[in-house]
Structures are given as structure tokens and as C-alpha cells.
């Protein structure tokens, strides 16, 4: 009987494609918008992810997310180092600097200052020059996207010079780096160099990066740091979550994307529901004949549900496939952030399931109350 239901469904090409289109539209919009949202959220934490090595971030107690810099006194580094259980701790500068380029134009840049001795937090994707070159005077490493932004159309070249805060900076390396929320070029340099590039402030230490001694849980050491220094100490994962939650709660981003996703859900439900209902009405005599011939209401219900599920599966597959295609295209051709984790696929699947369920409810009611004697009426 499911085979008959399937043949009935695909037999009417126009209606079939209409229903599938509704589901595809909804799945595409939900998956695409949710993936762009996830992409944006991943941008907000890209700089935390890129700092490999330390598992503990220490900062001012009022810091809410990674870009919410509240500078510390340099002496805080030694207080953190003094906490029992801390294996090592280093300085980390993060700020925005204004660069004056060779031709006189200005460009804002994200400036990251790494510990002079250890260079903890250095980028891992250096493909031109080397990290060791950061020890040279005025040295900076720039990310490739930033290089293309400030010198568009020009080939990668080391030795380029620009100024920040009246100090000379020389490009000694080019690296791959994750894109940031602000999309500014990213500059890596030594901490002592960074504070000369940055606007003058009394306090300049953004974060202390630390690692627990072997055998100690980072969470436990965080508690100790907070208890002894009064600073805020979080693990890397906690800092990721904290930053994302900040953007979710304090910005309109989730609402904007949520509205689009909801509209996609509504429009998809309306198109699929209306077309599916029309399809059922059009086939009402066939359903009546099946009931007259001895098909039970239960089987009719399963037939309609199987039709709805078929449409849902096809629509979901095509919709998510198109969304993934869009993501692939946007990654290779544009700067649009796109990240499709399995959760997006699961949420889209759940939404599509609800859509086909809602779409089939009216149709199910129609065929269940259908009097089989309808087939005897002319």
C-alpha cells in the first residue's frame, strides 16, 4: 500500500514538485540562515581558538567576551604565576591599532602581542617567513586575508613597511588565520613591540595566558586563581561559551536570523501544506475507492503520512544540499561566514518533520472522515 501511496504522490508531477518545492524552500532557508548564524558566532571566538597552547585565560573580572578588553596592570602576571598549581603564565596583548600605510592611507588592525620569550599564542599557519623572525626589530606577521585587504591585487611580499603610533612595522611573515568578527587585518608581534604600536595607556596587559601543572584540572586552577587574585580565570572552552553567550544575549544577531528562519518555516509550511491538501482533495475519489475496497482508516493514515515523509525526506535532502552548495560557493567566492555543524542539520530535519506533519494534518483529517460511499456519487 505504501507503494500505491508513493505512485499516487509522484503520479501528479506538478503537485509533487509543488509540495517538494515548499519543503526545499524551508529547508534551504533554515539550514542556510542557521549556518550563516553559526558562521558568525564562530567568528566571534576565532581568536580564542587560534591561540593554541594555554588552557586558561585570566582577565579583569568584568570582561564579558574576548573583545571586551579591560587592561590589567603588568604586575598581575606575577600574581597569577604565584598561584599554586599554575605551571606557567605569560602576557598577551589584544587591541585595535591604526596603521598608516605607505601611500598615506589608514587602516585599523587587530594587534596581538605575544610573550617575548615564548611567543605563546603565535599563529600556526605561517606560510611565508617564520615565527622566529618576530624577534627582529619592528617585526610583525600579518594574516593573508588582511594582506589582501590592505594591498589588494598585490602578490605576497615580505619586508613591506607601515607605521603604527609613529612606530615602524615591518612584515616578516604571512600566515593563515581564522577570520574575525570585525574582519580587520590581524597583526602578530611581540608583547614589548605591541605596547609601542598601541595607543598609550597606563595599563596594557589584556590577558594572562596560563597552563595548569600536569595532573591538575584547568577548572580547579581557575578557581584558585580567582580566589587568590580576584581576577577572572576561565578555561578556553568556558571563554568560548562566554563569548558566544554574550553575542546571543546582548546583540540582535540571533533575533534577526531567528526571524528569517521562522519566516522560512512559515512559508515552507504554507506552501507544502496548501499543495499537499490540494493534492489530497484532488485524489479524494481515489482514497474513497480504496476505502470502499476495504482499506482501513489506519492504513489510509499511514499512506498519507508516508507521502508526507517522502516529500519531507526529498525536500530536506535537496534543501540541505543546496544550502551546503551555497556554503561551499560562499566560502570560495565571498567573505561570507558559513558553518554547518551537525546541530544545524538536526534542527533543519526537525523543522522539516514538523512542516510535513502540519502539512499532512489537514489532509489526514480529510481522508479519515471521508465517506467511502462518495465513490457511488457521480
Partner 1 sequence: MKPAMPAPTTFDDIGAEEMAIRVRGVTKEFGSGDSMTRALRGVDLDVPYGELLMLVGPSGCGKTTLVSIIAGTLEPSAGDVSVLGKDLVTMTNGRKVCFRRENVGFIFQSYNLLPSLTAVENAAVPLLIAGWRRSAAVAAAADVLGRLGLGDRLTNLPSELSGGQQQRVAIARALVHEPRLLVCDEPTSALDAENGRITMELIQKIAVQPDRAVIVVTHDSRAYSFADRIAAMEDGRIESVASGPHHLAAPAPHSPDHP
User: Out of 84, 192, 296, 343, which residue is the one contacting partner 1 (CB under 8 A)?
Assistant: 296
User: Which triple of cell numbers denotes residue 195?
Assistant: 605596547
User: Out of 10, 248, 253, 322, which residue is the one contacting partner 1 (CB under 8 A)?
Assistant: 10
Is residue 367 within 8 A of residue 287, CB to CB? The reply is yes
Total number of residues binding partner 1 (CB under 8 A)? Answer: 28
| DSSP bridge pairs for 106 | 100
Q: Which residue has the cell 596594557?
A: 204
The yes or no reply on residue 8 touching partner 1 (CB under 8 A) is yes
The yes or no reply on residue 375 touching partner 1 (CB under 8 A) is yes
User: Out of 153, 155, 252, 377, which residue is the one contacting partner 1 (CB under 8 A)?
Assistant: 377
User: Out of 55, 165, 295, 330, which residue is the one contacting partner 1 (CB under 8 A)?
Assistant: 295
Q: Where does this chain touch partner 1 (CB under 8 A) — which range of 3-11, 53-61, 349-357, 358-366?
A: 3-11
From residue 11 to residue 40, the character string flagging contacts with partner 1 as x (rule: CB under 8 A) and all else as - is xx----------------------------
**Distance separating alpha carbons of residues 307 and 311, to the nearest angstrom:** 6
User: Which triple of cell numbers denotes residue 336?
Assistant: 561570507
Nearer to partner 1, 84 or 296 (CB): 296
The yes or no reply on residue 373 touching partner 1 (CB under 8 A) is yes
The yes or no reply on residue 347 touching partner 1 (CB under 8 A) is no
Q: Where does this chain touch partner 1 (CB under 8 A) — which range of 83-91, 95-103, 285-293, 314-322?
A: 285-293
Please enumerate in sequence order all residues whose Cβ is within 8 A of that of 75, keeping only pairs 6 or more positions apart, or say none: none
The yes or no reply on residue 159 touching partner 1 (CB under 8 A) is no
Is residue 303 within 8 A of residue 6, CB to CB? The reply is no
Q: How far is the CB of 315 from partner 1 (least distance, A)?
A: 20
Q: Is the sign of the CA dihedral 60, 64, 65, 69 positive or negative?
A: negative
Return the C-alpha torsion angle 349, 354, 355, 361, nearest 10: 150
Q: Is the sign of the CA dihedral 317, 320, 326, 332 positive or negative?
A: negative
User: Length of the chain, please?
Assistant: 378
Q: How far is the CB of 290 from partner 1 (least distance, A)?
A: 7
**Distance separating alpha carbons of residues 162 and 347, to the nearest angstrom:** 47
Nearer to partner 1, 2 or 262 (CB): 2
Q: How far is the CB of 4 from partner 1 (least distance, A)?
A: 6
Is residue 232 within 8 A of residue 59, CB to CB? The reply is yes
- Residue 341 exposure: Cα atoms within 13 Å on the Cβ side: 7
The yes or no reply on residue 376 touching partner 1 (CB under 8 A) is yes
The yes or no reply on residue 284 touching partner 1 (CB under 8 A) is no
- The residue ranges that bind partner 1 (CB under 8 A) are 1, 3-4, 7-8, 10-12, 285-286, 288-297, 299, 371-373, 375-378
Amino acid at each position: 500500500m505504501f507503494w500505491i501511496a508513493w505512485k499516487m504522490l509522484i503520479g501528479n508531477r506538478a503537485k509533487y514538485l509543488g509540495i517538494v518545492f515548499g519543503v526545499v524552500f524551508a529547508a534551504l532557508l533554515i539550514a542556510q540562515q542557521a549556518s550563516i548564524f553559526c558562521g558568525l558566532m564562530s567568528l566571534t571566538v576565532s581568536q580564542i581558538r587560534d591561540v593554541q597552547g594555554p588552557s586558561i585565560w585570566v582577565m579583569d573580572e568584568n570582561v564579558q567576551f574576548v573583545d571586551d578588553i579591560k587592561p590589567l596592570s603588568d604586575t598581575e602576571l606575577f600574581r597569577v604565576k604565584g598561584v599554586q598549581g599554575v605551571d606557567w603564565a605569560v602576557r598577551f596583548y589584544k587591541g585595535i591599532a591604526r596603521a598608516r600605510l605607505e601611500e598615506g592611507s589608514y587602516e585599523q588592525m587587530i594587534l596581538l602581542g605575544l610573550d617575548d620569550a615564548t611567543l605563546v599564542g603565535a599563529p600556526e599557519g605561517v606560510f611565508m617567513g617564520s615565527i622566529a623572525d618576530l624577534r627582529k626589530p619592528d617585526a610583525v606577521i600579518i594574516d593573508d586575508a588582511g594582506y589582501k585587504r590592505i594591498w589588494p591585487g598585490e602578490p605576497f611580499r615580505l619586508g613591506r613597511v607601515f607605521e603604527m603610533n609613529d612606530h615602524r612595522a615591518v612584515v616578516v611573515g604571512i600566515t593563515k588565520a581564522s577570520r574575525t568578527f570585525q574582519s580587520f587585518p590581524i597583526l602578530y608581534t611581540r608583547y614589548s613591540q605591541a605596547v609601542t604600536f598601541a595607543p598609550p595607556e597606563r595599563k596594557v596587559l589584556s590577558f594572562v595566558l596560563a597552563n595548569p601543572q600536569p595532573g591538575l584540572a584547568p577548572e580547579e586552577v581557575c578557581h584558585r586563581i580567582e580566589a587568590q587574585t580576584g581576577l577572572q580565570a576561565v578555561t578556553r572552552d568556558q571563554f568560548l561559551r562566554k563569548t558566544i553567550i554574550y553575542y546571543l544575549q546582548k546583540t540582535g544577531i540571533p533575533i534577526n536570523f531567528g526571524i528569517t528562519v521562522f519566516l522560512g518555516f512559515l512559508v515552507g509550511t504554507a506552501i507544502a501544506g496548501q499543495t499537499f491538501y490540494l493534492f489530497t482533495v484532488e485524489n479524494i475519489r481515489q482514497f474513497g475507492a480504496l476505502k470502499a475496497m476495504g482499506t482501513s482508516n489506519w492504513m489510509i493514515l499511514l499512506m498519507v503520512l508516508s507521502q508526507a515523509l517522502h516529500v519531507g525526506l526529498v525536500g530536506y535532502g535537496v534543501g540541505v544540499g543546496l544550502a551546503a552548495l551555497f556554503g561551499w560557493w560562499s566560502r570560495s567566492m565571498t567573505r561570507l561566514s558559513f558553518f554547518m555543524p551537525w546541530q544545524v542539520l538536526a534542527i533543519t530535519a526537525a523543522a522539516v518533520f514538523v512542516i510535513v506533519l502540519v502539512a499532512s494534518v489537514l489532509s489526514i483529517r480529510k481522508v479519515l472522515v471521508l465517506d467511502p460511499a462518495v465513490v457511488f456519487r457521480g
